[in-house]
Amino acid sequence: MRALVITGPDHAEVQDVAPPEPAVGEVVVDVSRAGICGTDVEFFTGEMAYLRSGDAAYPIRIGHEWMGTVTALGAGVDPAWLGARVTGDTMLGCGRCRRCTSGRQHVCEVRDEIGIRNGRPGALAEQLAVPAHALHRLPDGVDDVAGALVEPGGNAYRSVEAAALAPGERCLILGPGTIGLLCALFARARGAQVHLLGRSARSLDFARSLGFEGVWTDDDLPAGPWDAVIDASNATHLPARALELVEPGRRVVYVGLAGAPSMIDTRDLALKDVTAVGVLSASPGLAGTIAAYASGAVDPRGLVAATISLEELPAVLAGARPADAGPGPKIHVDLSDPRA
């Protein structure tokens, strides 16, 4: 089968690789659509931290935002999964440790991460092997585009849940990229007054096109109060800015990751009586995200700027933007047509 393989920094190619065989408890999914994100780009450039920690190594097969159809079952898997449209959890815990048995498999110390950690092959391939326990069914109301946006949506869903916003309260989101915009959509669905802070004119204009009027730069950001601040950026200075801006006694949520350490003054955290929450994974938010998409409360599909073939992907990872791309931040890969 065809799969995207990153063989070293700044080098990716489509290779013919052996198709997966489902192990006990696993299924094989024919991948229809997959997204790329900043983590995938960092693997391409060599900046991904797991490459330095030893949790990942080249060659690597990336891709963790996906949907598809179950076409083969391993031993012990319920036959009802065959033919199901699904997406799945990226984080695959050991299932035995204290974290896994308490429902926190996404922070299992020895977890695999699909397309990211411990050599687990990713979804930018025609087929993917996944443990059945990690699957989530996609209802008819969630099409393929939305299905491949469940994983990033789960991070945003968890971030907004962590912000603990009531209807009418004011939420400021730092960084109008994919996760920031998804946070904005989920916060708006909760009835919050949503504002976004960014720098790029293109990203700010795109946020306005989604119906968000409170779109600002540092130069024109109005005074609060900000009942919650969600940092969905990759800027090293914005975690401290989030703490500075949030109302005392409320919450800051950190879902963005910078390429270098970010500093906050814990005296400010304590003296303002602020709760700070970190969000690593979509795992606990996948079911809620699917429900929000299925009900129409959140429609993420407008974030997709272009859909490309697997063969076009190496150039996109290297920074090229498809000629027909719209203004959104997300690029999808169509794997449903073997001729694509």
Q: What are the percentages of helix, strand and coil residues in the chain, rounded to 5?
A: 30, 30, 40
**CATH value of 2-149+300-334 in 3.90.180.10, 3.20.20.70, 3.40.50.150, 3.40.600.10:** 3.90.180.10
**Is the predicted pLDDT of residue 340 greater than 50, yes or no?**
no
CATH of the domain spanning 155-278, picked from 3.40.50.720, 3.30.390.10, 1.20.1250.20, 3.40.50.1820: 3.40.50.720
Contacts of 338 (CB under 8 A, 6+ apart): 2, 126
What are the residue ranges spanned by the domains of the chain? 2-149+300-334, 155-278
Helices 150-163 & 178-189 angle (0-180, nearest 10): 60
pLDDT at 272: 98
pLDDT score at 79 = 98
Q: Is the pLDDT of residue 337 over 70?
A: no
Task: For the chain, give the number of residues.
Answer: 340
Rounded Cα distance, 151 and 159, in Å: 13
Q: What is the mean pLDDT of the chain?
A: 96
The Cβ of residue 279 has, within 10 Å, a number of other Cβ atoms equal to 24
With b for 16 or more beta-carbon neighbours within 10 A and e for fewer, the 92-126 pattern comes to bbeeebebbeeebbbebeebbbbbbbeebbbbbbb
In angstroms, the CA 57 to CA 38 distance is 17
Q: Is the pLDDT of residue 260 over 90?
A: no
Average pLDDT over residues 227-234: 97
pLDDT band at residue 259 using 50, 70 and 90 as cut-offs: confident
Report pLDDT for 339: 42
What are 57-100's pLDDT values in tens digits?
999 999 999 999 999 999 999 999 999 999 999 999 999 999 99
Mean per-residue pLDDT, 241-261: 95
- The distance from CA 15 to its chain's CA centroid, rounded to whole angstroms, is 25
Query: What one-character DSSP code corresponds to residue 238?
Result: H
The residue with tokens 């995938």 is: 40
Choose among 138, 162, 18, 5: nearest CA to 66.
138
